[in-house]
Amino acid sequence: MANQNVDMIRALCEACGPSGFEHNVRKLLQTFLEPVADTVERDRFGGIVGKKVGDPNGPRILLAGHLDEIGMLVTHVTDKGFIRFQTLGGWWSQVMLAQRVVIHTRQGDILGIIGAKPPHLLPRDERDKVVKIQDMFIDIGVKDKAEAEAAGVRPGDPISPWSPFTRLVNEKMHMGKALDNRLGCATAVAVLRELQGQSHPNIVYAGATAQEEVGLRGAQTLVNYVKPDIAIALDVGIAGDTPGVAEHEARSRLGEGPILLAYDGSLIPNPRFRDFIMDTAADAGIPLQVETIAGGGTDGGRFQLHDCGVPTVSFGCTTRYIHSHAAVFHQDDFDNGVRLLTEVVKRLDRTVLNDILDF
């Protein structure tokens, strides 16, 4: 099962889908959802869920990651054939230079590299300054604008990071692009897969939203479509186990369990739902880390505001180097997250929901 999960994560990560251009990822996710769901459904913004009915009179549970990854968009081509771009999502300029990207055109994909003025030509006082994103460009190896346009490049074309999915020295550690948030997409599928042949006292909608990285936009449309009684936003967290990170800044560590967010910039979770998940983990003997992230939000921030309110938590894998070309996660954290969410679904009946609502 673990290898099956890794293969699915690899395929999802290597698919390209910047915010607003998630269609290839959505089609791929649909192929994973169809064998494990009763039906597969979509909203009109690009979100997708697999529906699995346990008790048709039970609570409606939404488990959703997000399809999109941070990327870029062609704004124009210079006379000399260099590509200027707009970022899609939260890029940090220091992780961008000299990285490969793929421009997705009508005529096919074009590989390029992000460049800027060479440091050899900068005055000494400018060499240690951070290069601004607006001063960067993409070089696709053409001589002029006409050659770039002949290759198919035009304003509005999406751009993805290029980074093959790779197993590291520790075979449970993997590196790849778009772990934020193809890990959440894969978790949704894996939970439905674990529920095959098992009873559960509810209706599960498991899948992914669109355009999370540009303002949680698809969370609004998907929650309006599903109309859940309770929701779990599947996302990633910031690992605190690398040099330079203080314990009070981030506490979670790779390989020590999935994470439950006690706070993020968009969501204060329902306290009884939070406690229910923590108690379920303890009862089932599944490791769980509790983390806070003040500097970012999740789809849970929109899920919770649907109608008159939806009890919501954010849950996922702690991850190193998100919002870059290559992040790192630990397979045990993913697998234990799937185990825990499966237990949560199997226990979450109408009585539990009513208790959660009575906070």
Which comes out higher in pLDDT, residue 121 or 223? 223
- HSE (CB half, 13 Å, CA atoms) of 47? 28
Alpha carbons 287 and 96: distance in angstroms, whole number: 35
Residue 296 pLDDT class (50, 70, 90 cuts): confident
CA angle 165, 167, 172 (to 5 degrees): 125
Q: Are the C-beta atoms of 292 and 318 separated by less than 8 Å?
A: no
CATH domain 2-69+177-357 topology: Aminopeptidase (3.40.630)
Catalytic residues: 212
Q: What is the pLDDT of residue 122?
A: 81
Alpha carbons 267 and 230: distance in angstroms, whole number: 14
Q: Which residue has the tokens 């959703």?
A: 64
Q: Which residues pair with 58 in a beta bridge?
A: none
The identity of residue 125, as a single letter, is: D
In this predicted structure, the answer to whether residue 167 has a pLDDT above a threshold of 90 is: yes
HEC readout, the chain: CHHHHHHHHHHHHHCCCECCCCHHHHHHHHHHHCCCCCEEEECCCCCEEEEEECCCCCCEEEEEEECCECEEEEEEECCCCCEEEEEECCCCHHHCCCCEEEEEECCEEEEEEEECCCHHHCCHHHCCCCCCHHHCEEECCCCCHHHHHHCCCCCCCEEEECCCCEECCCCCEEEECCHHHHHHHHHHHHHHHHCCCCCCCCEEEEEEECCCCCCCHHHHHHHHHHCCCEEEEEEEEECCCCCCCCCCCCCCCCCCCCEEEEEECCECCCHHHHHHHHHHHHHHCCCCEEEEECCCCCCHHHHCCCCCCCCEEEEEEEEECCCCCCEEEEHHHHHHHHHHHHHHHHHCCHHHHHHHHCC
Q: In the chain, what are the domain boundaries?
A: 2-69+177-357, 72-161
In this predicted structure, the answer to whether residue 271 has a pLDDT above a threshold of 90 is: yes
Average pLDDT over residues 174-193: 98
Q: What is the pLDDT of residue 2?
A: 62
Q: What is the pLDDT of residue 123?
A: 83
In this predicted structure, the answer to whether residue 1 has a pLDDT above a threshold of 60 is: no
**Which among 237, 310, 308, 238 is positioned nearest to 269, based on CA atoms?**
310
Residue 3 pLDDT class (50, 70, 90 cuts): confident
Alpha carbons 9 and 13: distance in angstroms, whole number: 6
Alpha carbons 229 and 203: distance in angstroms, whole number: 10
CA 95 distance to own-chain centroid: 18
Alpha carbons 226 and 202: distance in angstroms, whole number: 14
The overall longest dimension of the chain from CA atoms, in Å, is 70
Alpha carbons 303 and 264: distance in angstroms, whole number: 14
Total-model pTM: 0.96
Residue-wise pLDDT tens digits, 188-245: 999 999 999 999 999 999 999 999 999 999 999 999 999 999 999 999 999 999 999 9
**CATH 3.40.50.300, domain 72-161, yes or no:** no
Strands 166-167 and 289-293: unpaired
Alpha carbons 335 and 12: distance in angstroms, whole number: 16
Poorest-confidence range of 17-26, 52-61, 290-299, 302-311?
Answer: 290-299
